[in-house]
Amino acid sequence: MFTETTVKRAIQREAEQITSPRQLDAQILTLFERHHQTRPLPKPKRLYRASVIAACCMMLFTGVAYASSVLYILHTDSVQLEVTKDSAVNLPQATVKEISESLYDVQSQLAPGENAYAYVPELAQRNLPAVIRVANPTLFPDLTAWKEAITPYAAAVKLPTDIPQDFNLEGGRLQQAMEGTDPDKLNTYETTLKQTSQQTGGKLSWVKAETVQAPQLGINTPNLLYTNKRNGQIQLSFQVIPDANTAVSVKTGDFATAEKVSVHGKEAYISKQDNNFLTKTGYYLELSWIEAANGQSIVYQISTDDAAVTKDELLRMAASMK
């Protein structure tokens, strides 16, 4: 793992014992480097958002995460994905249900392929990212057409042959139903949507956005969708990150759990949440791992909102991918 990982882990162990203001980051790093005679931390050339569907609420942050607990870390030689637990992300169950119903109500008003930006005041009040991109993703039953549409992601696509009973492949999509927001778009929409929310006093304000014609690296997450008769879903998603000393840091609620497993001989994690407002059921089980290929790092995620699906079934899906 590159130097950033080693330094961050060492600082994390110390940071968990204290609460320090963020302005001390630079001083602490300088003292650490001087004491251990290490070279300065390389600044990532790019920062990418992981898909927000992967947690109750995800945020990019830089610097040291004080008083937070690392849930898991995935990495290649030049890319690192770190997920930490933070009590600030915890939401009451009633609030989770309310936000979920509001977001999926917006989705129900979108035609296939349409997108919207939604502003959630409750999240803003908790100092959490309050703008979420909601989509009714176009479904490609023809996977050949889907692969053509998702270049340069196509090289990452591996199809599983072992699918949980009762699930069938519906097709491929260019993005997920709920995703993070491009920082440029955030600046464009957040102020207006916040004003609308304050004027109307509603639980959520939203506006239609541009249609995704091709996935944008770091923002959209192409995926394969499997469904069953219970309306349960399994998603196999692909997040391609160019190798450029990239760090992705994510926060999730401190009730999330993770178990270390192995996929294709690589370190992987199965995480679980029972209070996720980005799914219809509130339940979320995900298997995540990262691989390096063709000068890129690829984050694979197999996830489900169906509590009847087991972690062993997700592992078998991953093991059968070719």
For residue range 299-322, what is the model confidence (pLDDT) as tens digits? 999 999 999 999 999 999 999 998
Q: Is the pLDDT of residue 4 over 70?
A: no
Mean pLDDT taken over the chain: 78
Give the residue with greater pLDDT, 53 vs 181: 181
pLDDT band at 9 (very low <50, low <70, confident <90, very high): low
- Alpha-carbon distance values, 299 to 19, 79, 166, 258, 310 (Å): 32, 10, 26, 17, 21
pTM > 0.85: no
Q: Is the pLDDT of residue 13 over 80?
A: no
Mean pLDDT of 214-235: 85
Question: For residues 178 and 138, what is the distance between their CA atoms, to the nearest angstrom?
Answer: 13
Q: Is the pLDDT of residue 43 over 90?
A: no
- Give the least confident one: 35-49, 153-167, 308-322: 35-49
- Alpha-carbon distance values, 281 to 111, 225, 261 (Å): 22, 17, 25
Q: Is the pLDDT of residue 98 over 90?
A: yes
CB 135 within 8 A of CB 216: no
Q: What is the pLDDT of residue 79?
A: 87
Q: What is the pLDDT of residue 311?
A: 94
Mean pLDDT of 77-97: 87
Give the residue with greater pLDDT, 95 vs 14: 95
For residue range 117-145, what is the model confidence (pLDDT) as tens digits? 999 999 988 888 889 999 999 999 999 99
Could you give the angle at the alpha carbon of 222 between the alpha carbons of 276 and 111, nearest 5°? 75
Mean pLDDT of 269-286: 91
Q: What is the pLDDT of residue 135?
A: 94
Q: What is the pLDDT of residue 169?
A: 94
